[in-house]
Structure 1
């Protein structure tokens, strides 16, 4: 099923990890994608691979610092200029600067809040401004289980990810009558280069909290992002989906 046939999506942090998995799912469903990433070269390389895989120019990569509203708007403009529309926005870009609250620097706190929360606000605000003109669009914001329960050593990250949920709900209420839907996803322990670098003791502790007794895969987050982007979720806005294997129900 080409659930996203002729749709165009912008995905921040799209050069790797969950962002790239979402891009792959969208392309498989018929979409064109703009990978917006702080590492412009990595974004361009990933986009070239996506296009080569399907034998058509269905992806492009752009450098984008999500804290800079002009850079985010330029990424959205690239979608319209390259593919003719902006139908889906995925605010996925993020960083971690973990430390206990006692040892965390103000700069580490500010950086994480800026990238996750302000970056998500920039993407949601600017994408919805364009989408309201066409009376349609879907915005998918990537939060985290850390924003639901709070994690030791992540006062910055947990605060930002909780803020994304509040932002999502408020934006959904503002944009509903314009035909623009805004939803969020809260992934739990997802297998990635970052999580696999954890000390074994930390990994085992997290695994013990998961009823399904396994970590998730990036494509399992991507499938929910595909659902939210498509007409399958046409009567859903302001919702939060947990992709956690049942952790912290």
Structure 2
């Protein structure tokens, strides 16, 4: 597989030799932005043509091309808004002893449901697609909105969404206070790309997480990728 980026009218197309690479929906992998197209070519070379394997620039753009530009906007907003009922960022433990660890990581939820819906209606299409992905992958559309609403480091968001860190908090709370703890994984994400040794020895420890977490945490890496992808100007249908 020899991937490169070719110019076709106003589009930059990812090609294998002279053949355009296509999404699972049969759409050529394209962008108006050369930097994004080149990044997608690197992603495909590294992880293959199935966008469900990794959340990277290619995966985000594939969903955008296959669904974002073809499905009515109102239909895309429905699952994002409906996620509110079970959203882990919104539906936090009521007991203060359980709530405080998440408060330290996530801060307060700033919006009620009505304000959240209004914010969703104002999003760009790229931003809306990020919220959809966060809902599907991290059980929280609100995390996506929080991610895109500021430029702060996403370490706290990543730790609060991580099943491994959730289990660490659960163990500590149970041992220290005799509680049953949070229970299960709390709907958190268990990344297949995690470094178990790093998680156990550097991150999920009393004096963690360390400063080099962004270099090792796959959830942090995905959040940074989502933020960067969402910042590209919108594509227009060909």
Task: Considering Cα pairs closer than 8 Å and 6+ residues apart, tell me whether 1 or 2 has the greater RCO.
Answer: 1
TM-score (normalised: structure 1): 0.26
Please state which structure has a larger fraction of its residues in strand.
1
TM-score (normalised: structure 2): 0.27
Q: Which has the higher Rg, Structure 1 or Structure 2?
A: 2
